[in-house]
Structure 1
Amino acid sequence: MFVGYVAFRDAAKPGRRRAFFLLLFSTLLMVVNPRWRRFAEYFPPFAVLFAAFALEPLVRRARERFTAREPAESDGTTNEGAPTGETGATDDARTPAPARVERARAWEFVLVGTAFVMLAAPLVWYARVTSQDIAGMAAPDSYRGGMAWLGDHADRGELIFNTDWDDFPKLFFYNPNFAYVSGLDPTYLLDKDQKLSELYAKLTIGKDLKDDEIANLGPLIRDNFCVGEGEHKRCARYTFSDHEHQDFYNNALDSGWFDEVYHDDDCSILRMRDQKGTPPPDNSPPDEQGDDSDEDDSQGN
């Protein structure tokens, strides 16, 4: 973009209108790119097109100057001073010498090669970084075990409360017979129901929940996240979470509304109870843990 801005001139000329349009469009993409990531794929090619159209007149003029033959001198006079009728010398002066044309082509090759190397070097680096990122991602079969358990124990068409929308492709791949609360992009849920989307984000992040909201986490999920109508209405009874949502996981178990029914190195599945009960021992409030330990001591005595 910087090269295009420096090289751009004379927007009003007919041949510069395309460059002017690309200047406006690529600048718009550059401005919105930090705010909306979905434009990241569009900005680079249009920025390159803008730079190419902005540089094209400069490259053309440089080529013409470099390949044009210098006026030949004869008897101390140049072709510019030749009589009007003597056009042979003038035509010969306008014809580029083969050697100059070859040198111009050589310089063009050098410049193109240099530009290619300068562009290829970052691409190689980006490819390496991307390969490292892919290597650090979850394995393709990371959720196979959890989805296999759900397939054996949950009813067909069950609504699964998945805590991360970008897990949806794997979940749907392993079992397309379930419905999932959010997937592909969080804006789908936001467009469907803004309040429900905000509640979903609040529950899954789990950092700003009040004590009464944690205590009623089960009903909050069961009463708000449902599909279907009438006798076909199904509300979420299972939650599927990776191990990056520890706040949600702890809040769910602390609430006394959930039991952990599946756990492996990649995911956890919680099933909602019909009634609120006692949290699992590791997730009981400190005062209840103290009461339990006192009872154990008294029984031991």
Structure 2
Amino acid sequence: MSELSDHKKIVGAMLPTVQPSSTKRRGLVFAQKRVHARTVVQAVGVFLLFVVGLAWLQFSTPHLVGNDGYYHIKMAYLLRTEGLRPAFIWLPLTVLNANQFVDHHYLFHVLLMPFTFGDLRLGAKWGSVFMAALAGVALWWVLRRRRVPWATLWALGFFVVSDAFLYRMSMPRAQSLSLFFLLVAVAWLLDGHYRRLALVGFLYVWAYNAFPLLIVLTGAYGVATLLAEGRFEWRPLAYSLLGIAAGLVINPYFPQNVLFLVHHIAPKLSTPTEIAVGNEWYPYKTDQLVRNMAPAMVLLALGWLAQVAFGVRQRTESLFFTLCVLLFGMMVLQSRRFVEYAPPFVLLFAAYHLGPLLRKTASRRSNMLSVALLLAGLVAGGFYTLPRAQAAVQRSAPSERYQAAATWLAKNTPPQSRVFQTDWDDFPRLFFYNHHNTYLVGLDPVFLERANPGLYKVWVDITEGRNETPGLVIRTFFGAEYVFTDHRHAAFLRVAADDPYLKEVYRDDFAVIFAVTFP
């Protein structure tokens, strides 16, 4: 009996500990679900805030911001209507001819497909808002994961740091998606989810040719660990390279996509001023850089003050954000296109160092003071940045600039007849309104120069009015039956007026079209 009694006592002693343990586990799971649900609700709320702000900026003009958006939304439309890999026949004399074409924005175009129902211009504008808002949420997510106080307020600095940055984010181009990938990579990198960087690398390759920036980012983290901890953390870099390699090889355009990288990027890295590429590849003038990034520079100075003067400990994360600011800062000094990356990383740097400092020095009474200071900074910065960004957006060229001329070509020329343009950056608008014709050069003049340097030089001479009989050369060497130009090419128009091989067949306030004839 004593043994049975002892056994009952043991069982009885065990029961009170088992039941509460199970209850606690259920309570913990429920609490975690509540936290996740609350986080999702917060993320949706932040996303909607960004959508409202970006839509206000985007729809301050009825036109698309920049030129290339016309090409991107048309490609997304063709992917939806003609298949996920339509034959690209529109630039036959360039490295983007039908046999070599690589859609180096493929994933970006796929993501734009839902926005191609109805008015393509309206769809492009909403697509731009959507993807830039995703980048804004990713910025908030990084701040939240780093436990930066008042992360939402800091994230709204997205609208304050730089008017040039906001202008770039308003373009229907892949830079907002590129920033999203980089910020997601930062979040996973600092959380130690290194394997996930392979997925980022893979998708980044499919979306945009800026994917080497992921290597820069993970390399900077490795250097930060070396300086802070005396060891080089190689895994993020390794997983990123693995994902990038997989994205290049497991690709609908492999192996042409690897060769295309050489055509597209190498000329900019070596001699970026020999060929007249887009303005975004050239550096800012100093005064223009200061005006465009004044709030970011103020934040950078305050972040340095918090890091150095107030003795913020040099942890790996702190050094990582510092290296990112230095690297992207050097990039934007070399090329203005990197203004789409430098300001948000300055914001991360400043928030990471100033946020904890404010929390540390704030008492319960002064918490509201800290929030008030942040709000005051947002308002003051917004008064400087937003009107400048809106003015830049409102200066966008009219969407209908070449609509009538492109429509005339579509209605009055044979299918796939070649059009000789006097400007390479006229292609996106012409292609948007008219994929009935083919064109000489587009998206980047390098694409013609790399395919045929001799033809490129002849094209430049003709567009600048240095050839007395351009019509004969255009028909003989370029196989073009029509010439499209605008009124800014005065030298070419003077020569064309006296050329017996060119006959003017169309003219409006924006463009002139010639037919190439033989007298």
TM-score by length of 1: 0.63
For the structure 1 residues 117 and 243, does the alpha-carbon distance in structure 2 shift closer, same or farther, using more than 3 Å as the test? Answer: same
For residues 26-175 of structure 1, the aligned pairs below 5 Å read 26-63=325-362, 67=363, 101=364, 103-134=365-396, 137-138=397-398, 140-175=399-434
**Residue 189 (structure 1) aligned with residue 451 (structure 2):** no
CA RMSD of the aligned region, Å? Answer: 2.7
Cα distance, 1:262 vs structure 2: 0.9
Aligned residue identity for 2:505: V
Counterpart of 1:270 in structure 2 is: 514
Find the residue that maps to 2:340 and give its secondary structure: coil
Report the residue type matching 1:116 in the other structure.
L
In structure 2, the CA distance between the partners of 1:21 and 1:170, relative to structure 1 (3 Å rule), is same
CA distance in 2, matches of 1:126, 1:254: 45
* Relative contact order, higher structure (CA 8 A, sep 6+): 2
- Mapped contact 2:500–2:518 kept (Cα < 8 A): no
Whichever residue aligns with residue 220 of structure 1, its letter is V
- CA distance in 1 between counterparts of 2:488 and 2:507 reads 14
Asked if the contact 1:161/1:240 (under 8 Å) is kept, the reply is yes
Distance 1:186 1:124, change over 3 A: same
- SS of 1:8's equivalent in the other structure is helix
| Structure-1 residue corresponding to 2:470 | 217
Point out where structure 1 has 5 or more consecutive residues left out of the alignment: 68-100, 226-234, 276-301
Instruction: List aligned pairs for 1:172-251, cutoff 5 A.
Output: 172-206=431-465, 209=466, 214-225=467-478, 235-251=479-495
Tell me the residue number matched to 1:253: 497
> For the structure 1 residues 25 and 224, does the alpha-carbon distance in structure 2 shift closer, same or farther, using more than 3 Å as the test?
farther
Task: Answer whether contact 1:215 1:256 (CA < 8 A) is retained.
Answer: no
Are the structure 2 counterparts of residues 111 and 157 from structure 1 closer, same or farther at C-alpha, using a change threshold of 3 Å?
Answer: same
Deviation of residue 263 (structure 1)?
A: 0.9
Equivalents in 2 of 1:267, 1:145: separation in Å? 9
**Alignment check: 8 A CA contact 1:147 1:174 kept:** yes
Q: How far off is 1:198 after superposition?
A: 4.0
Structure in which a larger fraction of residues adopt strand: 1
Residue of structure 2 in register with 1:294 after alignment = none
TM-score, scaled to structure 2:
0.38
Does the C-alpha gap of structure 1 residues 21 and 174 become closer, same or farther in structure 2, counting only changes over 3 Å? same
Cα 1:121–1:179 shift into 2, 3 Å: same
- Structure 1 residue 238: deviation in Å? 0.8
Cα distance between partner residues in 2 of 1:36 and 1:173:
28
Shift of 1:60: 4.1
Specify the code of the residue in structure 2 equivalent to 1:203.
Answer: I
Judged with a 3 Å threshold, the aligned counterparts in structure 2 of structure 1 residues 202 and 215 are, in CA distance, closer, same or farther, namely closer
Match of 1:177, SS?
A: coil
**Higher percent of residues as helix:** 2
State which structure, 1 or 2, has the greater radius of gyration over its C-alpha atoms: 1
Structure 1 position 42, deviation (Å): 1.5
Give the residue type in structure 2 aligned to 1:29: F
1:5 aligns with 2:304: yes
Query: In the alignment, what sits opposite 1:288?
Result: none
Partner-residue secondary structure (3-state), 2:315: helix
- Where 1:240 maps in the other structure, the secondary structure is strand
Equivalenced residue count is 219
Tell me, yes or no, if the aligned pair for 2:503 and 2:516 is still in contact at 8 Å. yes
Distance across 2 between alignment mates of 1:218 and 1:18:
62
Q: 1:28 to 1:202 in 2, by over 3 A?
A: farther
SS in 1 for 2:401: coil
Mean alpha-carbon deviation: is it higher for 45-54 or for 235-244? 45-54
Q: Which amino acid aligns with 2:512?
A: S
* Corresponding residue of 2:280: none
Structure 2: give runs of 5+ residues left out of the alignment: 1-299
